[in-house]
Amino acid sequence: AQSVTQLGSHVSVSEGALVLLRCNYSSSVPPYLFWYVQYPNQGLQLLLKYTTGATLVKGINGFEAEFKKSETSFHLTKPSAHMSDAAEYFCAVSEGGGADGLTFGKGTHLIIQP
């Protein structure tokens, strides 16, 4: 069975600082990995995804993530945080490319300090 662990339910960074949100996964087959963002009172928006190929994936809003098979990780980073990045971030895994649904982590609430 697949699963996702997001370390840290809340992460606080200063505006302009590096953002690092951690995600570790468990999967019995090569996984498809996703990061979604949820702004208050809104649905989930896809930030980026890893399917196959290049392990460093770039997404929207300056975010990127690196798939590390040896560490079973897919951490999300952004070099310089902006106030508008404050939101809930979800890591998700799928063993079927998303066709059979995604398994989500519990989410990390990102707080940006001015």
User: Binding of another protein at residue 25 (CB under 8 A)?
Assistant: no
User: Binding of another protein at residue 98 (CB under 8 A)?
Assistant: yes
62 phi and psi angles, rounded to 5 deg? 80, 5
Q: Which is nearer to another protein, 79 or 97 (CB)?
A: 97
Select the residue interacting with another protein from 11, 13, 31, 32 (CB under 8 A).
32
For the CA atoms of 43, 50, 95, 22, what is the dihedral angle to 10 degrees? -70
Q: Are 5 and 64 in contact (CB under 8 A)?
A: no
User: Binding of another protein at residue 53 (CB under 8 A)?
Assistant: no
User: Binding of another protein at residue 55 (CB under 8 A)?
Assistant: no
Q: Which is nearer to another protein, 81 or 88 (CB)?
A: 88
Judged by CB under 8 A, the number of residues near another protein is: 23
User: Least Å distance between CB 71 and another protein?
Assistant: 22
What SS3 state is found at 28? coil
Cα gap 78→68, rounded to integer Å: 17
Angle at 108 (CA atoms; ends 103, 104), nearest 5 degrees: 5
Give contact residues for another protein (rule: CB under 8 A): 32, 36, 41-46, 49, 51, 90, 94, 97-107
